[in-house]
Amino acid sequence: MKKHHTTFGFNRILTLLLLPIIILPIFLFASCQKKTRTMNINLFDTKSQMFQQINLEKYLEGVVAGEISNNAPIEALKAQAVLARTFTLKFLRDDSSMYEGADISTDINEAQAYNEDYINDNIRRAVKETKDIVVYYDNDYINAWFHSNSGGHTTTATDGLGYSLEEPKYIKPIKTNENTNNSKNFKWYYSFTKSEILTTLRDLGISISSLSTFKIGEKDSSGRAKTFIVGGKEISANKFRLSIGSTKLKSTLIDSISVDENTITFSGRGYGHGVGLSQEYAITLANEGKTYKEIIFYFFNDVKIKSYKQ
Residue 223 in domain: yes
Same structural domain, 123 and 141: yes
Pairing of strands 227-230, 277-278: unpaired
pLDDT at 25 over 50: no
Split at pLDDT 50, 70, 90, the class of 11 is low
Same structural domain, 248 and 292: no
Residue 232's pLDDT is 87
Split at pLDDT 50, 70, 90, the class of 219 is very high
Same structural domain, 157 and 114: yes
Residue 24's pLDDT is 45
Same structural domain, 257 and 286: no
pLDDT at 127 over 90: yes
Residue 35's pLDDT is 39
| Predicted confidence (pLDDT) per residue in 197-209, tens digit | 999 999 999 988 8
Strand ranges of the sheet holding 304-307, from the earlier edge strand across to the other edge = 140-141, 133-137, 304-307
Same structural domain, 194 and 102: no
Residue 15 in domain: no
Residue 19 in domain: no
Split at pLDDT 50, 70, 90, the class of 210 is confident
How far the first Cα of the chain sits from its last, in Å, is 54
Total number of domains constituting the chain: 2
The rounded distance, in Å, linking the Cα atoms of 83 and 146 is 8
What does the pLDDT average to over 159-169? 95
pLDDT at 47 over 70: yes
Total count of residues recorded for the chain: 310
Please count the other Cβ atoms lying within 10 Å of the Cβ belonging to residue 54. Answer: 20
Same structural domain, 278 and 232: no
| Predicted confidence (pLDDT) per residue in 97-108, tens digit | 999 999 999 999
The rounded distance, in Å, linking the Cα atoms of 302 and 242 is 31
| Predicted confidence (pLDDT) per residue in 286-300, tens digit | 999 999 999 999 999
- Please give the C-alpha separations between residue 173 and each of 77, 83, 98, in angstroms, as whole numbers: 22, 18, 31
Residue 13 in domain: no
Same structural domain, 226 and 194: yes
Residue 4 in domain: no
Same structural domain, 211 and 284: no
Same structural domain, 55 and 154: yes
**Residue percentage of the chain with pLDDT more than 70:** 88
8-state DSSP, 116: G
Question: How high is the mean pLDDT of the chain?
Answer: 90
What residues make up the domain containing 47?
40-167+274-307
Residue 248's pLDDT is 97
pLDDT at 29 over 50: no
Beta partners for 104?
A: 43
Split at pLDDT 50, 70, 90, the class of 12 is low
**How many helices (DSSP H) and strands (DSSP E) are in the chain?**
9, 14
Same structural domain, 71 and 86: yes
Same structural domain, 109 and 196: no
User: Alpha helices, DSSP H only, in 38-69?
Assistant: 56-67
pLDDT at 154 over 80: yes
Residue 177 in domain: no
- Please give the C-alpha separations between residue 176 and each of 38, 132, 173, 268, in angstroms, as whole numbers: 39, 29, 10, 16
Residue 23's pLDDT is 47
Pairing of strands 40-45, 50-55: antiparallel
pLDDT at 7 over 90: no
Residue 151's pLDDT is 98
Q: Which helix (H) or strand (E) holds 178?
A: none
The rounded distance, in Å, linking the Cα atoms of 223 and 123 is 34
Residue 174 in domain: no
Residue 3 in domain: no
**Cα 107 from chain centroid?**
12
Same structural domain, 45 and 161: yes
Beta partners for 149?
A: 271
**Cα 59 from chain centroid?**
14
The rounded distance, in Å, linking the Cα atoms of 233 and 239 is 14
pTM: 0.84
Name residues whose C-beta falls within 8 Å of residue 97's C-beta, 6 or more positions apart in sequence: 44, 103, 104, 105, 110, 111
8-state DSSP, 225: B
Residue from 264, 255, 253, 262 nearest 230 by CA: 264
Q: Are residues 201 and 191 in contact, defined by beta-carbon separation less than 8 angstroms?
A: no
pLDDT at 22 over 90: no
Residue 34's pLDDT is 38
Residue 310's pLDDT is 80
